[in-house]
Amino acid sequence: MDSLLAQTYSDFELVISDNASTDGTEAIYRAYAAADDRVRYYRNDRNRGAVWNWDRVFELSGAEYFKWAAHDDLCAPDYIERCVEILDRDPSVVLCYSETVIIDEHGKRVRPYIDRCNNIGSPTPHERFQDLIQNLGLSNPMFGLVRAKALRMTPVVSNYIGSDMVLLAELALLGKFHRIPEYLFFRRDHPEKSDRANPTLEELAVWYRPENKGSVQLRNLRLFLEYLASIRRARIGSCQKALSYMHMAKWLRWELKEISAECASALKQILSRSGKRKSFRAVR
C-alpha cells in the first residue's frame, strides 16, 4: 500500500477488494481509505476465490489504464509515472512493465529476474505471441500498466490454472509490450505465496475458486484450448491468425507428453471415484 500511495504519479484510484479476510486486513484498509480519498475499499461477503477477486477490481476501476497489485509486492516510486509516459507516447503499446528484482519475505533483494521475452515489442502480432508462449517464465507483465480498453477485449482472468499466461498472450496479439530496462518492480518470493501455499494442482484450483474442490485438473490441455480461443477472438488479420496457430502446433508437440500424462491421471481419478461410489451404494 505504502509503495503505491508514494508513487510520483499521483492521479490514480486504488481499488481494494477484500476477499472476506478473517485477520486485521479490514481495519487496516479502512484506515487507509479514511486517510486518502484515492483509496476505495470493498469487502466481499465470502471468499469467492482469487479469480473472482482479480476480475472484481478491474470491474470496479474506471481509468484509462489499469494495474493489478499483489499485496506482497513493491513498486519503485516512479513505476507508474514511467509506464504512463510510455503508454501516452505510443498508442501501439498495450502493456508497459519494468525489469524485476526478486525479494524475500523481509524485503531483502535476492536476485534480479532474467526476463527471456525479447520480442514482445515486435510490430508483428504472431511474433509477440510466439515470444510469450515460448519464453514467459514468471508472469511479471501481469503487474504492469495495461490499457483498460485492450483488457476489456479479453475474458480477463478466467477460472483455470495458468489463465494469466493466456491473458498475456492474447494482449500480445492486440498490441506491443514495452519493458522498461530498469529494475522498478520488486516481486516477493516467500513460503506463503500462492503456488507454494497450494502445492498441488487441486489445491491451487481451489485457491482460484473454492467451487473447484474435487474437480479434475487438465492444466496443459486447458491451456492449449484457451490459447487457440485467444487467437480466434483476437482482432487481427487472417494471416497473423494462421501463423499464430502454427506456433500453437509447435507448442502442442512440446507439451504432448505432459498432456497425455495428465489425461491418463485424470482418467484414473475418474475411474477411482466411480468405483468408490459403486462400493458405497453396495454397502448401503
Q: How do residues 4-42 score in pLDDT, each as one tens digit?
A: 999 999 999 999 999 999 898 999 999 999 999 999 999
User: Residue 134: is its pLDDT beyond 70?
Assistant: yes
The pLDDT tens digits for 95-124 are 999 999 999 999 999 999 999 999 999 999
Q: pLDDT-derived band of residue 281, with 50, 70 and 90 as boundaries? A: low
The pLDDT tens digits for 145-193 are 999 999 999 999 999 999 999 999 999 999 999 999 999 999 999 888 8
pTM of the model: 0.93
- For the beta carbon of residue 1, count every other beta carbon within 10 angstroms: 14
CA angle in degrees (0–180, nearest 5) for 109-114-118:
145
Percent of all residues in the chain with a pLDDT value above 90, rounded to a whole number:
87
Q: How far is the C-alpha of 138 from the C-alpha of 72, rounded, in Å?
A: 15
Closest residue by Cα to residue 144 from 119, 103, 172, 111: 172
Secondary structure of the chain in HEC code, one letter for each residue:
CHHHHCCCCCCCCEEEEECCCCCCHHHHHHHHHHHCCCEEEEECCCCCCHHHHHHHHHHHCCCCEECCCCCCCEECCCHHHHHHHHHHHCCCEEEEEEEEEEECCCCCEEEECCCCCCCCCCCCHHHHHHHHHHHCCCCHHHHCEEEHHHHCCCCCCCCCCCHHHHHHHHHHHHCEEEEEEEEEEEEECCCCCHHHHCCCHHHHHHHHCHHHCCCCCCHHHHHHHHHHHHHHHCCCCHHHHHHHHHHHHHHHHHHHHHHHHHHHHHHHHHHHHHHHHHHHHHHC
Q: How far is the C-alpha of 245 from the C-alpha of 225, rounded, in Å?
A: 11
Residue that is written with C-alpha cell 513505476 in the block: 79
- Which residue type is seen at 80? I
161 Cβ contact partners less than 8 Å away, ≥ 6 residues apart = 201, 204, 205, 208, 217, 219, 222
